[in-house]
Amino acid sequence: MKFIHTSDWQIGRTFRFADDDTLGALQAERLEVIRRLGLLARQEGAAHVLVAGDVYEHETPAERTLHQPIERMRDFADIQWHLIPGNHDADQPEGVWARLARSGLPENVTVHREPGPILIDTAHNAWALPAVLKRRHVLTDLTAYMDEAETPPDALRIGLAHGSVVGFGGEVESEHNPVALDRARRAGLAYLALGDWHGFCQIDARTIYSGTPETDRFTTGGGGGGGGGEAVVVTLHGPRAEPEIKRHRTGRYTWKKLDDVVLTSEQDILALDARIRSIAPDNPGAVLVWAAVSGLLSVDDMALYESNILKRLSGAVACLRLTGAPQLSAGLDDLDRFGSGGAVRAAAEHLLAQSEAGGAEGQLASEALQRLFLFWQEMGAQAG
């Protein structure tokens, strides 16, 4: 038996750092990735897609948001989609799943709202064992019932849960939505499909976090990193055989975090430009970058930074989020750009004196002087 394991779609998620255009594009891609999951299932010959919770970002999405993922799954009538509630979209009374049940679901979409074995594939004697969150946080292990859940002999038992594996990697045990580290072994599961962590993580041969299919956070690693952007193709050769796992890239966007970017020269600026453009050279418009920037630049280098980074590069990538900024290094010799006298020269001298005095007012004066230099250069270029 072959199926796709995915989770944490979080349809309707907002990103506060993004402008309206970028936010709209990111939200649209979280819907578009459902189509890519359906196409992946067809390509791989997988008849089922298992979604391990957090289909939605909120328990009370707007009506249009409520139906958007369902309609995209409806388009793949040859694929059976199996959904469970997660901590973001727990099965609350009058919540998201109750609303969908009232409005009706396509025949190829099943929401598992109660625990217990359910036959999902007769040909392969495959049974889903869902754990169902009725609240955002619970203190009990909802997968515990799987140990005693009865299925026919030689059944493929596939657990489906949303929560935190207890004690994995030596970390402090999670207090909320715990999942036993050895649940797959104790319950005789052929596979345990988990959601909650947004990056792919293999706990053991049968216990897997798929991660979110569209990257949603900045990471310092390459590609999707810990932020997801993948789905898992699972092949089960038998109830006791070790499952075959294949990871597939499904995300469009690449999120990259750059720490401690220090700019002190033209070479540093050009290197930063090249570094960001090299993340996805064939598609820079699908790159989001968060960089922590500092340093000290001359007047000419500050103009280059403004042109190459703040204007051109910002327009090339999907999002350029900058924390901090290089400071202007200017002296009396630089003021000669404004001439030997006049109101502009006098204003620049005053700002330079204030900036050298330091403090909050000095910072503001330095920024104002920087803008004045850049404006003056632009005016000169236009006049030329």
Predicted pLDDT at 171: 54
Phi, psi of 26, rounded to the nearest 5 degrees: -65, -40
CA 87 remoteness from chain centre: 17
What is the greatest pairwise CA distance in the chain?
94
SS3 content of the chain, % helix, strand, coil (to 5): 35, 25, 40
C-alpha pair distances (Å), 87 with each of 115, 128, 159, 181: 16, 20, 17, 19
Predicted pLDDT at 60: 92
Distance CA 198, CA 83 (A): 17
The H or E element containing residue 24 is: helix 20-44
DSSP label at residue 173: P
The answer to whether the beta carbons of residues 32 and 213 sit under 8 Å apart is no
SS3 359: helix
Phi, psi of 138, rounded to the nearest 5 degrees: -130, 155
Predicted pLDDT at 221: 60
Distance CA 143, CA 161 (A): 7
* Two structure tokens written together for 64: 């249009």
Instruction: Specify the residue for token string 């390509």.
Output: 43
Phi, psi of 222, rounded to the nearest 5 degrees: -85, 160
Distance CA 111, CA 101 (A): 9
* Two structure tokens written together for 57: 């970002």
> What are 47-98's pLDDT values in tens digits?
999 999 999 999 999 999 999 999 999 999 999 999 999 999 999 999 999 9
Low-confidence ranges of the chain (pLDDT < 70): 168-174, 221-226, 330-334, 336, 339-341, 373-374, 376-377, 379-384
Burial 237-269 (b: 16+ CB within 10 A, else e): eebeeebebeebebbbbbbbbbeebebeeeebb
Predicted pLDDT at 344: 74
The answer to whether the beta carbons of residues 249 and 213 sit under 8 Å apart is no
Strands (DSSP E) along 109-253, which ranges? 109-111, 118-121, 126-130, 156-162, 164-165, 178-179, 191-195, 201-204, 207-209, 230-235, 244-249
Strands 2-6 and 254-263: unpaired
Predicted pLDDT at 174: 60
Predicted pLDDT at 341: 67
Phi, psi of 338, rounded to the nearest 5 degrees: -90, 5
The pTM for the full model equals 0.87
How big is the chain, counted in residues?
Answer: 384
Predicted pLDDT at 340: 66
Mean pLDDT of the chain: 90
CA dihedral 142, 99, 70, 135 (to 10 degrees): -20
Phi, psi of 383, rounded to the nearest 5 degrees: -65, -35
Distance CA 167, CA 280 (A): 36
Q: Report which residue type is found at 197.
A: W
Distance CA 114, CA 136 (A): 16
Instruction: Specify the residue for token string 């005693």.
Output: 148
* Two structure tokens written together for 367: 């920024």
Phi, psi of 144, rounded to the nearest 5 degrees: -60, -35
Kindly state the percentage of the chain with pLDDT values over 70.
91
Distance CA 105, CA 70 (A): 8
Predicted pLDDT at 225: 43
Predicted pLDDT at 355: 75
Picking from 229, 314, 309, the residue whose alpha carbon sits closest to that of residue 272 is 309
Distance CA 5, CA 234 (A): 7
Predicted pLDDT at 380: 59
